Chain A
């Protein structure tokens, strides 16, 4: 893309062409105002696309194999570890990292912090796609994916925590679609649609907060069904939902910092000045929010350990693993964020956000897989399972990029 901009092209960001003469058609909008030839040329020039191509050919075949030969083809068919990487990564890691949508929605729409506006849409998109792909991961994992709607309409088990997760994720997905409709409306030029959504935005945002609080917590509460299977340091029945909810706050914010950093670095042509000039200031703002949530999380984690009287476990091997997770994922980020905020060090804040994301992923994987069945044996996921996870995550990235290239997420649509 940079090459075309150097040749004097401007990335498409309005309904009419730069000379003000012609209206862009949807096809031209999809091609970013390039000719098909130019578009293909820029796609081929990007080495990342080659990597994706390899992943999709190889991983795609294995993913199709999962649906032709069944779960036993791609997993170890474990009875003791019924949940593997598909849910461990796809649900338990993806969902907290997608909490950015409701966090920024709250900040801007409820608390009226309009200074965060330049990054709000990116946060919403990050949330929407994260949830969408969590559902796709779920569909790969379910034994009978075509029965996905059974808990909604066919046979209801309303007393189960997963019932709440199912309903809330479904509802929240539609809320997020609605929240992003204005961006789509601008792109396709349907001003009426935008107005309708605008009038509902406060209601949508508040329902987003409720749904998010509950299903982020519910993901934690799912493990309270197995209080004896997860290592005591990773489960504390009365606090589990709160641990998961609280950590999803900084998980979402830090993921937003990471994604916005990538956008600035690799997609600067698509960002407008409003985004680029504000990003450093906003990153520090997000860092501040993350630091506060991290401190709260640290405190309630300690309360959890104290409440259950788990101090003795800290001396064991599992205890050291726990303290490592807490140090890398919580304590170190608190220290680094504080330094970054005090000294206006945006780079440090970005680095810290990155390790916080890794820390949260480690926490969820620890709870769902690594310390699960700590009294039994460890299970290493099947290599095909890993390949499928990489494939679907790549699809996530490609979809993400496809939308960022087009919809006015990182830039403002010109009237």
Chain B
């Protein structure tokens, strides 16, 4: 089975699964939209060797997305002393990593990686996420129930939640500047703001070529890996580094399987249980109560 039909099968299985048990009839699911790697999707290549940790991208994102002003201004570099993560007030953060044996630190920008097969998307039970053909992973706050499974599922610890809101808490994460820029083919605000050309915006397929060219041309400068090329099924944002990726805060144990692959064992069990269990237990019942029935018949016959 090829990838697509397998996924369709799984989807039909689980959706049908829930339905069969409820309505007592089999149904094929059309509710789930197709997702996955679009051929022309866009991405960003992040070259850690060029980053100077100026936080211009953070400032640009804050402005573009209308986020609240941070406690400390963006030109205050003391925040780099701590490891931060994305939050409801910051869709992207830059962290500093001292590399043993190197005279200067490396900086790493993090934000949503806009996965090809997003774990957040596949785990959401109200289908709040979608992957656009341009490559952005978008989130719809109007249907979100707030179960926060997507935060559990995201292998990169990206989605944040506005816990402080009482009436309308929602997921907060980078949206690739989709509404204001990506939709119109323009690069995101953070990419444009970078003074050091750390961030390259382009078609994902082209970015991969660029990345591998750089590695080939400067084998001493880069480790021979493009983080995000294969990780968890591939991501739209990808990284080059001069230090091993685990030394700059990347999880290098994620594997290349999309997260949904780990769930599929269970998903294939669902239709089996639904079809086999009723017959099996009805059979048990007949066997177990045969004596009672016979007794009854006997006494009725007398």
Chain A interface (Cβ < 8 Å from any Cβ of B): 67-72, 75, 77, 79-80, 82-83, 106, 109-113, 141-145, 147-148, 150-151, 154-168, 171, 202, 206-207, 209-211, 213-214, 217-218, 220-222, 224-229, 237-241, 375
> B153 on the interface (CB 8 Å rule)?
yes
| Contact A158 B281, beta carbon cutoff 8 Å | no
Bound-complex Cα distance A151 to B15 (A): 12
Interchain Cβ contacts under 8 Å between A and B, 8 examples = A113-B288, A143-B169, A150-B143, A155-B126, A160-B125, A161-B14, A206-B277, A214-B270
| Contact A210 B254, beta carbon cutoff 8 Å | no
| Contact B285 A202, beta carbon cutoff 8 Å | yes
Q: Which residues of A contact B254 (CB under 8 A)?
A: 228
| Contact A210 B21, beta carbon cutoff 8 Å | yes
| Contact B160 A162, beta carbon cutoff 8 Å | no
| Contact A158 B32, beta carbon cutoff 8 Å | yes
Q: Which residues of B contact A109 (CB under 8 A)?
A: 285
Neighbour of B263 across the interface among A110, A165, A221, CB < 8 A? A221
Min CB distance B131 to A, Å, is 13
Q: Which residues of A contact B191 (CB under 8 A)?
A: none
| Contact A163 B146, beta carbon cutoff 8 Å | no
Min CB distance B246 to A, Å, is 11
> Which of B54-62, B116-124, B202-210 lies on the face that meets chain A?
B116-124
Cβ-closest 3 pairs across A and B: A143-B146, A158-B15, A82-B148
Bound-complex Cα distance A154 to B142 (A): 10
Beyond A70-B166, A151-B125, 7 additional contacts (C-beta under 8 Å) are A70-B169, A83-B152, A111-B285, A147-B146, A160-B125, A164-B18, A225-B122
| Contact A79 B151, beta carbon cutoff 8 Å | yes
Residue picked from A83, A142, A157, most chain B C-beta under 10 Å = A157
| Contact B266 A218, beta carbon cutoff 8 Å | yes
Bound-complex Cα distance A43 to B79 (A): 59
Bound-complex Cα distance A144 to B253 (A): 34
Q: From known contacts A147-B146, A226-B152, infer whether A158 and B163 are also in contact, taking CB-CB under 8 Å.
A: no
| Contact A229 B152, beta carbon cutoff 8 Å | yes
Min CB distance A284 to B, Å, is 20
| Contact A156 B126, beta carbon cutoff 8 Å | yes
Q: Which residues of B contact A148 (CB under 8 A)?
A: 145
| Contact A69 B281, beta carbon cutoff 8 Å | no
Query: What is the count of residue pairs linking A and B with beta-carbon distances less than 8 angstroms?
Result: 212
Bound-complex Cα distance A171 to B24 (A): 13
**Contact-residue size bin, chain B (C-beta under 8 Å from the other chain):** 35 or more
Q: Which residues of A contact B274 (CB under 8 A)?
A: 210, 214
| Contact B289 A112, beta carbon cutoff 8 Å | yes
Bound-complex Cα distance A158 to B140 (A): 17
| Contact B147 A214, beta carbon cutoff 8 Å | no
Q: From known contacts A158-B32, A167-B22, A210-B21, infer whether A227 and B123 are also in contact, taking CB-CB under 8 Å.
A: no
Bound-complex Cα distance A185 to B75 (A): 72
Min CB distance A382 to B, Å, is 11
Bound-complex Cα distance A226 to B153 (A): 5
Q: Which residues of A contact B265 (CB under 8 A)?
A: 224, 237-241
Chain B, 247-294, CB within 8 A of any chain A CB:
251, 253-254, 259, 262-263, 265-267, 269-270, 273-274, 277-278, 281-282, 284-285, 288-289, 292
Chain B, 143-178, CB within 8 A of any chain A CB:
143-149, 151-153, 155, 157, 159-161, 163-166, 168-170
Min CB distance A410 to B, Å, is 26
Q: From known contacts A69-B166, A151-B125, A241-B265, infer whether A158 and B273 are also in contact, taking CB-CB under 8 Å.
A: no
| Contact A162 B166, beta carbon cutoff 8 Å | no
| Contact A82 B269, beta carbon cutoff 8 Å | no
